[in-house]
Structure 1
Amino acid sequence: MLVISRKKGESLLIGDDIEITVSKIEDGTVKLSISAPKSVKILRKELYKEVESENKSAVIKDMNILKKFKK
């Protein structure tokens, strides 16, 4: 893991086509601006984990339904 310090207005690059800029720092919150190709998915981690959990639950429910038909 890379840990890097940035000030307001400073950026970092990921590869050739993703730029993350610190837009605002206020009351313990940092706002980031992300410039990336439309083909790159950008999700907040907590949202990603929630979707992942919901998908796992749906698979388990589907498996239980399929088991009933298998009998």
Structure 2
Amino acid sequence: MLVLARKSGESIMIAGNIEVVVVSVEGDNVKLGIRAPKEVEIFRKEIYLNIQASNKEAAQGETSLNRLADLLRGNAKGGQ
């Protein structure tokens, strides 16, 4: 992990097109501003992890539905 010290109003650049600016520091709270292209998705980590978990569940559910559909097709073919 890279650790940098920045003061309010200072920033860092990521990949040449993403700028993270320290807007303010108040006690334990740091407010950041992020300038990035519109196509770059930016999420708080806890939200990102929830999205990933939901996507994983959906993918597993889709696999289960596909298996069920295959079983039903197999039973329908066998019963004809």
**TM-based fold match above 0.5:** yes
Structure 2, unaligned runs of 5 or more: 72-80
Residue of structure 2 in register with 1:60 after alignment: 60
SS in 1 for 2:32: strand
Over alpha carbons, which structure has the higher Rg? 2
Structure 1, unaligned runs of 5 or more: none
CA RMSD of aligned residues (A): 1.3
- Post-superposition CA distance 1:26-57 (Å, at most 9, x none): 13111001111222221212111110100110
Residue of structure 1 in register with 2:43 after alignment: 43
Higher helix share: 2
Distance 2:17 2:58 in 1: 35
SS in 2 for 1:16: coil
| Aligned length in residues | 71
TM-score after normalising by structure 1: 0.85
Residue of structure 2 in register with 1:16 after alignment: 16
